């Protein structure tokens, strides 16, 4: 089995806008979920008025590649 996405590739959740995309930071494979990816994410804390950098975990079927412009 081969992963659909590579480390460093820009991806997003299927229904998200391109502005919400992140980069693949790593991935692993499990028998029950298949490939699971860790992608970079940014959230805005409106109360503190700051950007919070984080990591999201998601399965391969939840993601699509973002085409470079």
Structure confidence at residue 68 (pLDDT): 75
State the average pLDDT over residues 37-57: 93
Q: Are the CB atoms for 28 and 36 separated by under 8 Å?
A: yes
Strands (E) across the chain are located at 10-13, 22-30, 34-45, 50-59, 63-65
pLDDT at 1: 83
Prediction pTM value: 0.85
Average pLDDT over residues 38-45: 92
pLDDT in tens, 1-32: 899 999 999 999 999 999 899 999 999 999 99
pLDDT of residue 69: 62
Rounded CA-CA distance 13/8 in Å is 16
Q: Which residues are 22's β-sheet partners?
A: 11
């Amino acid at each position: 089995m081969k992963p659909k996405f590579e480390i460093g590739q820009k991806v997003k959740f299927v229904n998200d806008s391109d502005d919400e995309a992140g980069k693949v930071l790593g991935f692993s494979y499990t028998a029950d979920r298949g490939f699971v990816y860790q992608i970079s994410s940014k959230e805005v804390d409106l109360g503190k008025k700051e950007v919070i950098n984080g990591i999201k975990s998601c399965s391969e079927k939840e993601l699509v590649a973002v085409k470079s412009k």
